[in-house]
Structure formats: C-alpha cells, structure tokens
Amino acid sequence: MQWHKARGFTLIELMVTIAVLAILLVVAVPSFIEFRERAAVRGAGDQLVSFWANAKLEALKRDRPISVSIKKVGATMCMGASTVITAGCDCFSATACDVDRYPPVQGDWRGVTMVGLPTLGPTDSDDDGLAVIDPKRGYLADDDDVGGVTIQSPGSKVYRLKLHVDRWAKPYLCMPTNSPRKLPDFGTRSCAP
C-alpha cells in the first residue's frame, strides 16, 4: 500500500497570498474610483450634448421654434425641450415638456451635479437657463442665449466639464480652466469657467 502525502497550503503561504491580494486591492481601488468619477462626468456631458443635438433636430423637423431649458433645484437638475417658447417647460414634471426631457429619474445622472447656475440665455433667480432654437436657420433665436452649464463628478476627485452652446446652437464639451482635476482627453479643449 502506498501513502500519498497530503498537499495543501501552509499558514505562511496563505498569509503571503492574502497580503499580496491586500496590496493589489489598495493600489487598484483608488484607480477604480477615479475611473468611475471620470466616466460619470463624461457620461453626463455626453447626455447634455446629445439632448441639445436632438432638440435642434426637432426644431428643424417640426419647423417650429423649440425652447430648451436647464433647471436646477438644490442638488438636482434636469433638461427639457418644449414648443412653449416664453417660459420653456418644467422638466421636473413628467408631462410638462412636450418635446423631450432628461432624465426620467435623477439617478440617471449617476451623482453628477451642476456647479453654479446655468449661463444659458437669460438666467434669473429661479436657477433656470433657457434658450430658443430657430427652426429656419438652426441657430439660437437670440444672441444672448449663448452659454452653458458646468457639471461636476461625484465623490472627492472633482472633475468638471462644461457644456457650451454657441450662436449656431452647436453644443460642445470643454474643461473649465478652474477644474480641480484635469481630464486627459479634454486637455486641448479648455474653456472659461
């Protein structure tokens, strides 16, 4: 009869393995958190640009002026597009915006918040930004409607992006010069805060 020696881990081997895993975890977690924060602010920025492009397309398609509003109430924000030109629409209400609104639920922002007030159009004390897209030319109806909004990532790393809408109602993203942390892919696209 032949005896086989039992194979397994010694306590020291197990402790070394756990120590190596702990070191890898300590190194990986901050990188993952930064990645998640950068992805959240980029995703929100992409949603802002996409919303503007869709609103401009709707103005051209419907051959009607479309008002686009960005609203902020406390830490929450939303965007709405409407055929109601004078006051825009209340994008916090599910039925107020007859063209489109974003987000359907605030969780879609993934913790991204607005910094300051929107500078889009005539901003007043109720924290709204409002601009009107002219359907004939596809431009903003009024030169004073040029502006945008700055968004900030969730968490402690603080990445910022700014949606800027130019005279031709073209939206683009840039990194404000006062952003505490730099997004590598926006190094050449910086803008005033």
Does a structural domain hold residue 1?
A: no
DSSP assignment of 120-131 equals SSS--TT-EEEE
Does a structural domain hold residue 97?
A: yes
Assess contact for 79 and 48: CB atoms under 8 A: yes
Q: Is the peptide bond before 65 cis (omega within 30 degrees of 0)?
A: no
Does a structural domain hold residue 49?
A: yes
Structure tokens at 185: 């892919």
45-62: pLDDT as tens digits: 999 999 999 999 999 999
Assess contact for 81 and 56: CB atoms under 8 A: no
The number of angstroms, rounded, from the C-alpha of 67 to the middle of its chain's C-alpha atoms is: 20
Q: Is the pTM of this model over 0.75?
A: yes
Q: How many domains does the chain have?
A: 1
128-182: pLDDT as tens digits: 788 999 999 889 988 888 888 999 998 888 899 999 999 999 999 999 888 888 8
- Average pLDDT of the chain? 86
CATH at residue 87: 3.55.40.10
Residue 137: per-residue pLDDT: 87
Does a structural domain hold residue 178?
A: yes
Does a structural domain hold residue 3?
A: no
Does a structural domain hold residue 154?
A: yes
Does a structural domain hold residue 155?
A: yes
Q: Which amino acid is at 165?
A: V
Structural domain range at position 36: 11-191
Does a structural domain hold residue 2?
A: no
31-45: pLDDT as tens digits: 888 888 989 999 999
Q: Inform me whether the pLDDT recorded for 84 exceeds 90.
A: no
